[in-house]
Structure 1
Amino acid sequence: MALTVSDLLSVLRVREESRHVFAGDSLVDGVRRIYGGQLLAQSIMAMGRTVRESHGLHSMQGYFVQPGDVFKRIRFDVQPVRDGRSFSTRRVTVTQDERVVFIGAASFQAAEGDHKRLAPMPDAPSPESMPAEADFYACEAHLLERRRSHVATIMRLFERRSEMWRPWLDPSVTAPVNGLWCRLREPCDDDPLLCHAVLAYACDLDLMTTAMRPRGYGTMDRRTRSASLDHAMWFHAPARPDAWFYYDMNGPCATNNRGLGAGALYQDGRRIGTAMQEGLMRATEDESLA
């Protein structure tokens, strides 16, 4: 049965088992390893559930410690670090069978001040004028069966359009820049925390591959092994993941088989978020792996 947006939202709403302890499950999409964006989003939900309603999420960061297993229950242990009048800080340790798979932290702030300055969106064609992801990859769709990938799940849950799609195999060497329009295929509710969690879920996929574009490998290339290492996000304004938002990405540097991706998110013509991620990509032909 194909996964739906309702399935995603249900998985992100982690269950409170006891004070500051939450449990969650994974979307099962044919890939054994848990998608990193899911852990980011669930951690946001767990930490956010322990702060006052008046304090909204403004930043989070985390490290992917070990691969998670989609068939195992996930435990989120939230540690309150600070509860002030203006700010609340939380840490989370995510485990499976007492094995740490992710650690993170988040900061929440009560609304204050009248000054607001949000950078305008760069020039980009409208989403309707750009090729849809499914259309561009129609001739390579069989690769999703040969090499299971979280890409297939993202394509089911989000409509995405871009002028910068690259073939999944043999894409050639390109500059580390990328940009795409994205929106959830079905409505999301009005909970600001859930909206930011869904945004984090969507933004995990493309940062590392953007940084690695100058290496010339495609997403489905069997000669490579990749993994997210860490991820950070800043939320500058409210967001609606079920409305079009533009994700502008670049890869400022790569070294030691690690690539750094930087992303800016825009909605309604203004910047609503910033994302940074470092990821690992090893190629079997690298001398370092001999």
Structure 2
Amino acid sequence: MVQSPHGRRTKGIIASMNAVSELLEILDLEKIEENLFRGVSADQTWQRVFGGQVVAQALVAAQRTVPADRFCHSLHSYFLRGGDPSAPIVYDVDRIRDGGSFTTRRVVAIQHGRAIFLLSASFQLHEEGFDHQIEMPDVLGPDEIPHGDALKERILEHAPPAVKRYWQRPRPIEFRPIMLDHYLTENKLEPIQRIWVRCNDEIGDDPSLNAAVLAYLSDMTLLDTSLFAHGLSVFDERVQAASLDHSMWFHRPVRVSDWLLYAQDSPSSSGGRGLTRGSLYTREGRLVASVAQEGLIRPRKG
């Protein structure tokens, strides 16, 4: 039986909502002992655990040991080994410091008896103070660019198989790229990316949960930007690519169920590594977070 386009859209929306429920479920870590938490992977079909998942789960583990009135203002992390999506991940939290205004935590993610990821996070009581920010880039809004089936058709028509598989999967995060050339061509492009992102379902206003989901989505598309200048992408089989580190600064409250502009640029690549910076803005132009990541990008041998 042929399904109508309306039926396909409804099915796609339900799949996306289910993906959000699955994301929230894996972020609700199991406490197995004081300062020890266990998490599982949402998608076990990939060769490695998605880096954003490990960042988000490690942040949740740290949050569970911090007073509710303190919120993460920065995190810095290193990916040490590829994670096994078929095995649980244990998060061991070290309560480094509890000060009058700031709280510091260190989290080690462990699989098969070895550390695969290390995170340091700092939490702060809310304070009033100086306030400024750089302006949001002048771009088309999320409703003014191709999206939904129109976006998929435009990308999938000429995209390589790996890109097609990526875009056809139900995801908890919706993307609306302003620039599409890097999906459709192997031309060398300016290492800049502008993309609207949001959670595919409403998750409420809880600051800790919104920060965790923001950390999850912040690892998406970043590494790709450092390859634009070379006419390549992370989907290219000629490239060996992996995140090496990931840092975030949370400036202002955020709701990830609302549209956010993820403005990215890659100032440098050298020595088999590429550096990318990102800024996340609300539709009203309020800067809510900054991101920096260095990743491994090297030609695959053979």
1:159 pairs with 2:177: no
Per the TM alignment, residue 171 of structure 1 is displaced from its structure 2 partner at its CA by 2.5
**Cα separation, 1, equivalents of 2:159 and 2:25:** 27
The C-alpha deviation readout for 1:46-104, integer Å capped at 9, x for no partner, is: 00110111111100010000000110010000000000110000000001111111001
- Whether the aligned pair in 2 keeps the contact of 1:168 and 1:220 (CA below 8 Å) is no
What is the correspondence of 1:221-260 to structure 2 with a 5 Å cutoff?
Answer: 221-260=236-275
Matching residue of 1:279: 295
Cα 1:142–1:221 shift into 2, 3 Å: closer
Per the TM alignment, residue 141 of structure 1 is displaced from its structure 2 partner at its CA by 6.7
How many residues matched?
283
The residue type paired with residue 273 of structure 1 is: A
**Cα separation, 2, equivalents of 1:152 and 1:41:** 24
**Cα separation, 2, equivalents of 1:18 and 1:140:** 51
- Whether the aligned pair in 1 keeps the contact of 2:37 and 2:90 (CA below 8 Å) is yes
Aligned pair partner of 2:193 in 173, 178, 188: 178
**Cα separation, 2, equivalents of 1:27 and 1:145:** 20
What is the correspondence of 1:184-195 to structure 2 with a 5 Å cutoff?
Answer: 184-195=199-210
Listed as ranges, the gaps of 5+ residues in structure 1 are: none
Matching residue of 2:58: 43
Matching residue of 2:37: 22
The C-alpha deviation readout for 1:200-235, integer Å capped at 9, x for no partner, is: 111102222111211111332111111000000000
**Local SS of the residue matching 2:143:** helix
**Local SS of the residue matching 1:9:** helix
Per the TM alignment, residue 156 of structure 1 is displaced from its structure 2 partner at its CA by 2.3
**Cα separation, 2, equivalents of 1:226 and 1:18:** 35
Listed as ranges, the gaps of 5+ residues in structure 2 are: 1-13
- Whether the aligned pair in 1 keeps the contact of 2:239 and 2:298 (CA below 8 Å) is yes
**TM-score (normalizing by structure 2):** 0.87
Per the TM alignment, residue 255 of structure 1 is displaced from its structure 2 partner at its CA by 0.4
Cα 1:112–1:97 shift into 2, 3 Å: same
The residue type paired with residue 159 of structure 1 is: E
Matching residue of 2:161: 143
**Local SS of the residue matching 1:137:** helix
Matching residue of 2:8: none
Matching residue of 1:105: 120
**TM-score (normalizing by structure 1):** 0.91
Matching residue of 2:213: 198
1:207 pairs with 2:225: no
Q: Calculate percent identity across the aligned residue pairs.
A: 36
The residue type paired with residue 158 of structure 1 is: I
